[in-house]
Amino acid sequence: MKPVIVIGAGGHAAVIADALQAAGVNVLGFTDADPAKHQSKQCDLPVLGSDATVLAGSDRNDVLLANGVGGVKGTDVRRALQQRLQEEGWRFATVIHPTAIVSRHARIGNGAQLLAGSIVQALAAIGEGAIVNTAAVVEHDADVGDYVHVAPRALLCGAVTVGNYSHIGAGAVVRQGIRLGERTLVGAGAVVVKDFDGGGELVGMPARSSAEGIA
Ligand SMILES: CC(C)(COP(=O)(O)OP(=O)(O)OC[C@H]1O[C@@H](n2cnc3c(N)ncnc32)[C@H](O)[C@@H]1OP(=O)(O)O)[C@@H](O)C(=O)NCCC(=O)NCCS
């Protein structure tokens, strides 16, 4: 893989850089909007400068980008960032930590991130820019949409469908065959046993709709 610049320098960015390095990829450093961070180091890698400055000095043919923006509630910031840069001709690395178990019969979208200890089973599909975070499990035939964040230790049982831009909270369980529409926000620890149209929030066990949901 070509050398990678990680966009962002927060916690998720550190995890992404670490996963790439563990996979033997040359990570050049991070970008960050905050000038106070420039030239500092994180995980022994430099914060190179703002997105604009760093990308102006880089060649789209020589480097890949990695999306370092995470999200505990919404997926819009990371989606907007990646889509804008892709439209400008940049390509995003697909990040697979060497301890992730990924079936050869799974489909992994461009720029998806499968982090330490995650499992993606046969015939599952992971959308563009989606995150399968630490120790999360995506079972067989599940269909995870674009820019979805499956947070640490969440479990999507077989043939679950998760609409684009959704967030499945840490430790949540979604029962087999359940269909969640676009922009569903599942709270941490929820147990989802019914289909949901999306555009809202589900919490509790069994999960029930609450509040306005995802931004
Ligand atoms: C569901 C969630 C989005 C709500 O966040 P919020 O709007 O900031 O909610 P608050 O913390 O203000 O809590 C509002 C109410 O919901 C309850 N609540 C919050 N999260 C809950 C959850 N996961 N399950 C059940 N109830 C929850 C709170 O107890 C509180 O109840 P109260 O009004 O009776 O006191 C959030 O708690 C959550 O679970 N986010 C996912 C976190 C995650 O996946 N992190 C991983 C990042 S890598």
CATH assignment of the domain containing 81: 3.40.50.20
Predicted pLDDT of residue 28: 98
CA of 119 to the centre of ligand 1 (A): 26
Mutate to test the pocket of ligand 1, among 185, 203, 205 (most ligand atoms within 8 A of CB): 203
- Enumerate residues lining ligand 1, CB below 6 A: 72-73, 133, 151-152, 169-170, 185, 187-190, 201, 203-204
Indicate the residue type of 68.
G
| Whether residue 148 has pLDDT greater than 60 | yes
| pLDDT given at position 73 | 72
Least confident window among 32-41, 107-116, 144-153, 175-184: 32-41
Q: Are 81 and 147 in the same domain?
A: no
Q: Indicate whether 74 belongs to any domain.
A: yes
Q: Which amino acid is at 60?
A: R
CA dihedral sign of residues 191, 164, 167, 28: positive
pLDDT of 140 over the 80 cut: yes
Atom 11 of ligand 1, nearest CA residue: 187
Residue 11 CA to ligand 1 center (angstroms) comes to: 20
Q: Is 140 noted as a catalytic residue in this protein?
A: yes
Q: Are 81 and 135 part of one and the same domain?
A: no
Residues 106 and 184 in one domain: yes
In this structure, are 10 and 67 located in the same domain?
A: yes
Answer whether 186's CB lies under 8 Å from 180's CB. yes
Ligand 1 centre from 83 Cα, in Å? 28
Categorize the per-residue pLDDT at 165 as very low, low, confident or very high, splitting at 50, 70 and 90: very high
Which one of 92, 110, 136 terminates a domain? Answer: 92
Q: Could you give the CA distance from residue 159 to residue 154 in angstroms, rounded to a whole number?
A: 15
Task: Considering the candidates 38, 97, 105, 140, report the single residue annotated as catalytic.
Answer: 140
- Of the candidates 91, 20, 1, the one whose C-alpha atom is nearest the C-alpha of residue 55 is 91
Mean pLDDT, residues 92-102: 98
Domain span at 195: 96-200
- Expressed in angstroms and rounded, the spacing between residue 181 Cα and the centre of ligand 1 is 20
Q: What is the structure's pLDDT at 210?
A: 87
Nearest CA among 6, 97, 92 for reference residue 54: 6
Report which protein residue has its CA nearest ligand 1's atom 1. Answer: 187
Confidence of residue 10 (pLDDT cuts 50, 70, 90): very high
* Banded model confidence at residue 43, pLDDT cuts 50, 70, 90: very high
Task: Please state the domain count of the chain.
Answer: 2
**pLDDT value at 213 more than 70:** no
Percent over 90 (pLDDT), the chain: 93
Q: Are residues 68 and 103 in the same domain?
A: no
Q: Per-residue pLDDT averaged across 152-168, rounded?
A: 98
Question: For 31, phi and psi rounded to 5 degrees?
Answer: -115, 155
Residue 72 in this model has a pLDDT that exceeds 90: no
Of all protein residues, the one whose alpha carbon is nearest to atom 4 of ligand 1 is 187
Buried b (16+ CB within 10 A) or exposed e, 95-126: bbbeebebeeebebbebbbbbbbbbbbebbbb
For residue 203, pLDDT beyond 90: yes
The answer to whether residue 152 sits within a structural domain is yes
Q: Which protein residue's CA is at the shortest distance from atom 19 of ligand 1?
A: 187
Q: In Å, how far are 13, 25, 42, 84, 97 from 19, measured between CA atoms?
A: 10, 9, 14, 24, 5
Share the mean pLDDT of the chain: 96
- DSSP 3-state of 130: coil
Query: Does 124 reside within a domain?
Result: yes
Residue 205 inside a domain? The answer is: no
pLDDT (0 to 100) of residue 141: 98
Of 65, 92, 119, at which residue does a domain stop? Answer: 92
- Same domain for 126 and 189? yes
Q: Please tell me the distance from the alpha carbon of residue 185 to that of residue 197, in angstroms, as a whole number.
A: 11
